[in-house]
Amino acid sequence: MSLSRRSILKGAAAGAVLTAAPMVMGANHGKPKVVVVGGGAGGATVARYLAKDSKGEIDVTLIEPTRTYYTCFFSNLYLGGFRTLDSIAHSYGKLASEYGINVVHDWAVGVDRDKKTVALAGGGAVPYDRLVLSPGIDFVDGAVPGWDIAAQNKMPHAYKAGSQTELLKAQVESMREGGVFVMVAPPNPYRCPPGPYERVSMVAHVLKAKNPKAKILIFDPKDKFSKQGLFQEGWEARYPGMVDWLDASFTGPLKEVRPDSMEVVVGGEVTKADVVNVIPAQKAGRIAELAGVTDEKGWAPVVPATMQSRMDENIHVLGDATNQGDMPKSGFSANSQAKVAANAIRGALTGSKVFPAKFSNTCWSLIDTDNGVKVGAAYEATPEKIAKTSGFISQTGEDAALRKQTYEESLGWYSGITADMFG
Amino acid sequence: MMAVTVRTIRALGLAILLTVTALAAPARAVELGDAKAGEQLFRVCKACHRVGNGAENAVGPHLNRIFGRVAGSIEGFRYSEGLVRAGADGLVWDADNLDIYLENPKNLVSKTRMNFAGMPDPADRSHVLAYLRAFSDKPSNIPEAAPTATATDHNLDPAILAIVGDPDYGEYLSGECLTCHQKSGANEGIPSITGWPKADFVVAMHAYKKELRPHPVMRMIAGRLSDEEIAGLAAYFEGLD
Ligand SMILES: Cc1cc2nc3c(=O)[nH]c(=O)nc-3n(C[C@H](O)[C@H](O)[C@H](O)COP(=O)(O)OP(=O)(O)OC[C@H]3O[C@@H](n4cnc5c(N)ncnc54)[C@H](O)[C@@H]3O)c2cc1C
């Protein structure tokens, strides 16, 4: 996008937020309407905050195909046997009954930006004054040669939680004695930077107890990864000899996976595996692309102060789908961005006071029983991007009591954020 | 009504403590000991007192939320006149005065009916206090919080404490807190900050901001909040129940 176009958009966005009087009346001269697509970390939070804080002044519709949302966060703990699947399942009941949100269980299949309507798979179109897209991620077609969505039963990704996670867990638990677990790790940027490595820790935890001669190989296109020192220290201490992290500069690139024969070809070598977890390269959830708000890399660029799309000021994009700057793609980030967006949207539609944007993130990971670590940062909105202002990370060599406390804190965070999303 | 009074008294008490510590160290600053050891020692107290989930009054009043409670204030319990009067005079239980009371109840309230010779060893008392602290009022689960906070926490400019916060701004800012701290006050690994007396909140946040308290997430969050923003948050969270 040219600079001038960008500054015009920015100007328009700022104007919309700073004006005190209600700018937009509802499509039918009724209450202003906000439609939210995606009921995950970003979408559920923004819907709840809009409904709660506008006290009935805004009509909120949430479009989400599934009736039960399984959080990706803590889905690794389910793999490791630290959580049940039920304990990471959430329904939309309270958002409808306590907050008056119109929850529509359907897929959004298109956005008409001129008419300002969202088309549903089940037919019909929902009008909006402001649209929020928080559809999470989809996988880049052909990112891992030999793998496509039809292969996900043989080589699960488990990067959208639910049945995929159940499948991967079953595969790990029934692995033959001394078998090989392969993870094909994704290139940057992707959802939850420490996620693949926490997963390896959890798989190792299960194997150590059930199948101690088994091996874990990670084929990674990156030459470094999130919390690397902490994970590698933990693997060595808790799962000695079990985990091998192999980066592409050492092995050569991944050539293909063969789901039928359970083989992974890297460099010149063919590895026969028992379980293969393929986490492909990612892009914004497809509806963002259909709405025409994604860039050439497949993510949706946003104005940091309001989370408005840089391509359409009536659309806000949240969470994993965005290209925003320094924040990692995490549930915590999506939740944080949702509150900034809710404040901006409410200001634009009802004239309520708009406060300056503040963002933060903390990602906890579990390495083994009572061995938690965390990384986090604070961010501010600059015109160009969401920019990191300060941060922290757990240290290697921390004592067991601190690690346990960090783990317990993560349990508290999980309860906190899910209450903040679903009421 | 009751709650307001207690809060006001506590806030006042804290303000006084603040002024005092600014000038000189308090006469007696009780460190909390080991709650596990305290649980053992508490057996002696169990002859008359109950504490913990569902505890009720027995020979003596139950000890849930004893920290921050006005002396002699549980409705329906028949206290000695001495204790009721002490409460009316402004005695609010905290680590310091409970320590004195445990050493010998008659030290503090001459005509108390608490028939207990006292616990002479300061270490024993500190263990018992640590044990009781775990059952005390919101935000009891924040270990460093008043009324057991250490003096270093309290070296706060009274002008900062006097700032009147805007609860509406606080409500907006609270979004950041509520990703982890539950609004309902439930504590499932992260302490409750709901209903926290304003002065305690401000003191704690400034202690993080100045990096006197260790928690990295809280240092980060508090570090970029202005004095007004902290006051706004304090006003908002105090008003929640
Ligand atoms: C293994 C793993 C571990 C993780 N651990 C953590 C962690 O510990 N901490 C943390 O903060 N984050 C963690 N994350 C990341 C976190 O899950 C995501 O960053 C977060 O869910 C992003 O929120 P979102 O709103 O962008 O997308 P999502 O939460 O994925 O929500 C998107 C929703 O949109 C819906 N949707 C998609 N397309 C449409 C459409 N066309 N119409 C209607 N609805 C649609 C989907 O059904 C989905 O419910 C982890 C992720 C993984 C995979």
Domains in chain A, please, with CATH? 2-138+283-353 (3.50.50.60), 142-279 (3.50.50.60)
Q: Which helix (H) or strand (E) holds A119?
A: strand A117-120
Q: Which of A45, A330, A339 to mutate to test the pocket of ligand 1 (most atoms within 8 A of CB)?
A: A330
In a domain? residue B11:
no
Which of B141, B168, B189 is the last residue in one of the domains? Answer: B141
Contacts of B219 in chain A (CB under 8 A): 392
Q: Which residues fall within 8 angstroms of residue A86, CB to CB, at 6 or more apart?
A: none
In a domain? residue B119:
yes
Q: Which of A152, A320, A373, A413 to mutate to test the pocket of ligand 1 (most atoms within 8 A of CB)?
A: A320
Q: What is the pLDDT of residue B130?
A: 87
In a domain? residue B16:
no
In a domain? residue B149:
no
Mean pLDDT in each 10-residue stretch from start to end of chain A (423 residues)? 39 39 50 98 98 96 98 98 98 97 98 98 97 98 97 98 98 98 98 98 98 98 97 98 96 96 96 98 98 98 98 98 98 98 98 94 97 96 97 91 90 96 97
Q: What is the pLDDT of residue B44?
A: 93
Question: For residue B175, how many other CB atoms are within 10 A of its CB?
Answer: 21
Euclidean distance between CA atoms B218 and B239, whole angstroms? 21
Measured from CB, residues less than 6 Å from any atom of ligand 1 are A 37-43, 63-66, 69, 72-73, 75-76, 107-108, 134-136, 159, 191-192, 195, 199, 285, 287, 318-321, 329-332, 334, 363-364
In a domain? residue B146:
no
Which of B81, B109, B141 is the last residue in one of the domains? Answer: B141
Q: What is the pLDDT of residue A385?
A: 98
Q: What is the pLDDT of residue A17?
A: 39
- Percent of chain B scored above 90 by pLDDT? 42
A107: distance to nearest CA of chain B, Å?
Answer: 27
Do A77 and A366 meet the contact criterion of CB atoms below 8 Å apart?
yes
B180 and B96 assigned to the same domain: no
Spacing, Cα A317 to ligand 1 middle (Å): 13
Q: Which residue has the tokens 């506008």?
A: A54
pLDDT tens digit sequence for B66-103:
988 889 999 889 999 889 888 888 788 888 889 989 99
Phi-psi region of B204 (alpha: psi -120 to 50; beta: other; left: phi over 0): alpha
B170: distance to nearest CA of chain A, Å?
Answer: 11
Which of B141, B167, B193 is the last residue in one of the domains? Answer: B141
B111 and B169 assigned to the same domain: no
Indicate the average pLDDT of chain B: 80
In a domain? residue B194:
yes
Contact state of A416 with B179 under an 8 Å Cβ cutoff? yes
Residues in chain B: 241
B53 and B133 assigned to the same domain: yes
**Domain span at B47:** 35-141
Q: Is the pLDDT at B27 greater than 60, yes or no?
A: no
Listed residue (A226, A238, A131, A126) closest to A186, CA to CA = A226
CATH code for the domain in which residue B192 is found: 1.10.760.10
Do A323 and B183 meet the contact criterion of CB atoms below 8 Å apart?
no
Q: What is the ipTM of this complex?
A: 0.83
Contact state of B184 with A419 under an 8 Å Cβ cutoff? yes
**Sheet with A243-247: strands ordered across:** A243-247, A215-220, A180-184, A275-278
Backbone angles phi, psi at A39, to 5 degrees: -105, 45
B128 and B162 assigned to the same domain: no
B136 and B162 assigned to the same domain: no
B6 pLDDT band (50/70/90 cuts)?
very low
Q: What is the pLDDT of residue B91?
A: 83
Q: Is the pLDDT at B129 greater than 80, yes or no?
A: yes
Contacts of A412 in chain B (CB under 8 A): 180, 187-191
Backbone angles phi, psi at A266, to 5 degrees: -130, 130
B95 and B186 assigned to the same domain: no
B129 and B163 assigned to the same domain: no
Q: CA A202, B188, A388 angle in degrees (round to 5)? A: 70
B44 and B118 assigned to the same domain: yes
Contact state of A412 with B187 under an 8 Å Cβ cutoff? yes
Q: Which residues fall within 8 angstroms of residue B63, CB to CB, at 6 or more apart?
A: B45, B49, B50, B51, B55, B132, B135
pLDDT tens digit sequence for B195-219:
888 888 998 898 789 876 668 899 8
Backbone angles phi, psi at A401, to 5 degrees: -65, -40
Give the single-character DSSP code of A62.
E
A266 strand-pairing partners: A254, A269
Instruction: Give the residue, A205 or B156, on which the prediction is more confident.
Output: A205
In a domain? residue B153:
no
Euclidean distance between CA atoms A80 and A90, whole angstroms? 20
Continuous H helices in B164-215 = 167-177, 198-209
Whether the model clears a pTM of 0.95, i.e. scores above it, the answer is: no
Q: What is the pLDDT of residue A162?
A: 97
Q: Is B186 on the interface with A (CB under 8 A)?
A: yes
Spacing, Cα B52 to ligand 1 middle (Å): 40
User: What is the count of structural domains for chain B?
Assistant: 2
Backbone angles phi, psi at A418, to 5 degrees: -70, -30
Contact state of A378 with B182 under an 8 Å Cβ cutoff? no
B51 and B92 assigned to the same domain: yes
Measured between CA atoms, the residue of chain B closest to residue A412 is B189
Q: What is the pLDDT of residue A29?
A: 58
Euclidean distance between CA atoms A22 and A135, whole angstroms? 28
Residue B141: C-alpha distances to residues A304, A307, B56, B61 (Å): 36, 36, 21, 22
Q: What is the pLDDT of residue A227?
A: 97
Q: What is the pLDDT of residue A165?
A: 98
Phi-psi region of A344 (alpha: psi -120 to 50; beta: other; left: phi over 0): alpha
Residue A111: C-alpha distances to residues A65, A124, A315, B240 (Å): 16, 12, 10, 40
Q: What sign does the CA torsion over B179, B184, B190, B195 have?
A: positive
B193 and B223 assigned to the same domain: yes
pLDDT tens digit sequence for B73-83:
998 899 998 89
Ligand 1, atom 25, lies closest to the CA of A42
Euclidean distance between CA atoms A147 and A141, whole angstroms? 9
CB-neighbour burial class of residue A201 (10 A; exposed 0-12, middle 13-18, buried 19+) = buried
Spacing, Cα B179 to ligand 1 middle (Å): 16
Contact state of B220 with A416 under an 8 Å Cβ cutoff? no
Spacing, Cα A75 to ligand 1 middle (Å): 11
- Best of A392, A393, A402, A405 to disrupt the B interface (most B CBs within 10 Å) is A392
Q: How far is CA A385 from the centre of its chain?
A: 19
Q: Which of A72, A201, A421 to mutate to test the pocket of ligand 1 (most atoms within 8 A of CB)?
A: A72
In a domain? residue B168:
yes
Give the β-pairing of A89-91 and A68-70: antiparallel
How many CA atoms lie within 13 Å of B52's alpha carbon, on the beta-carbon side? 6
Instruction: Give the residue, B146 or B167, on which the prediction is more confident.
Output: B167
Residue A86: C-alpha distances to residues A70, A71, A80, A159, A330 (Å): 8, 10, 15, 18, 21
B44 and B137 assigned to the same domain: yes
Ligand 1, atom 27, lies closest to the CA of A136
3-state secondary structure of A77: helix
Q: What is the pLDDT of residue B173?
A: 95
Do B155 and A311 meet the contact criterion of CB atoms below 8 Å apart?
no
Q: Which atom of ligand 1 is nearest to the CA of A159?
A: 53
B62 and B107 assigned to the same domain: yes
CA torsion, points B191, B196, B197, B203, in degrees to nearest 10? Answer: 40
B133 pLDDT band (50/70/90 cuts)?
confident
Chain A residues within 8 angstroms (CB to CB) of chain B: 49, 332, 335-336, 339, 343, 353, 355, 358, 360, 362, 374, 376-378, 389-392, 408-413, 415-417, 419-420
Largest CA distance in chain B: 53
Spacing, Cα A41 to ligand 1 middle (Å): 6
Ligand 1, atom 17, lies closest to the CA of A72
